[in-house]
Amino acid sequence: MKQLYTFIILFFIATTSYSNVSPSNLNCDFVVETPLQNTDYLCNGTTTLNVAATGSMLTYQWYFNSSVISNESSNTLTATVSGIYTCVITRGTCSEMINFTVIQPADPSIFFQPMDVTVCQGEPVHLSIAAMGENLTYQWYRNNQLIIGADSSIFIITTATQADTGDYYCVVSSECAPSMQSTVAQVTVKHVAITSVPMDFLGCEGSTFVAYIEAQGTDVSYQLYHNMQPVEGATSNIHIITVDENTAGQYFWTV
């Protein structure tokens, strides 16, 4: 009988201790999907802050610069001024704090404009721009046509061709702010193509030979050579040669 009495008292004590635990403390876990630190931008003067959390019996309280915002008890808030917004999520005795830094974006400003470039065909072209602003993005254009993939502050053509000649500019965009266009940079790709070559000539002394060459390109210039030596004054694509022992030999142009 004494052992049974002891068992009943121990059982009673254990049961009483368990029943004193508050139901809200038994399971207060919930899952917050929104990062603890966030950055948002005021687009057209407003932005919506959203807290994503899963769990039952959740409550929300919003603060602005550490001051409570009354009548704001949902998981979303419309912000109209820049500052630090905080949402405290609570379930029972558990809570989680989510911070939002709301920024009024400034218009982008360009402090280094792209420069004109002149290269020979086959050489590289480098265009660059430097700007200030929030979360800047870049897009380059040639002759008012978007260049696919040219979306950084530096644009490079590794091997320039005649088709790359044109007017280039870059449009800089910032988060929720008006875009800004750079000045226009002129890219000139010099090229040359020989379309007609001189012919061999066999003539008697005193006869004349018209040496002639045709070429197309940008800013084309000519220099005629005789036996590897430049012919003085022969800087056009036509040169008349009087045949004698001094003028016989090999001729070629550099174009």
Residue 134 — very low, low, confident or very high, per pLDDT cuts 50/70/90? confident
CB of 206 within 8 A of CB of 243? yes
Tell me the whole-structure pTM to 2 decimals. 0.56
Residues 119-136 as b or e (16 or more Cβ within 10 Å = b): bebeeebebebebebbeb
Q: Checking DSSP bridges between strand 67-68 and strand 109-112, what pairing results, if any?
A: unpaired
Q: What percent of the chain has pLDDT over 70?
A: 89
- What is the arithmetic mean of pLDDT over 15-20? 31
Average pLDDT, the chain: 84
Q: What percent of the chain has pLDDT over 90?
A: 50
Q: Which amino acid is at 228?
A: M
Residue 243 — very low, low, confident or very high, per pLDDT cuts 50/70/90? confident
CB of 120 within 8 A of CB of 191? yes
CB of 213 within 8 A of CB of 237? yes
pLDDT of residue 233: 83
Q: Tell me which of 176 and 184 has the higher pLDDT.
A: 184
Enclosing H/E stretch for 18: helix 2-19
Q: Tell me which of 20 and 154 has the higher pLDDT.
A: 154
5 pLDDT higher than 60? no
pLDDT in tens, 91-106: 988 999 999 999 988 8
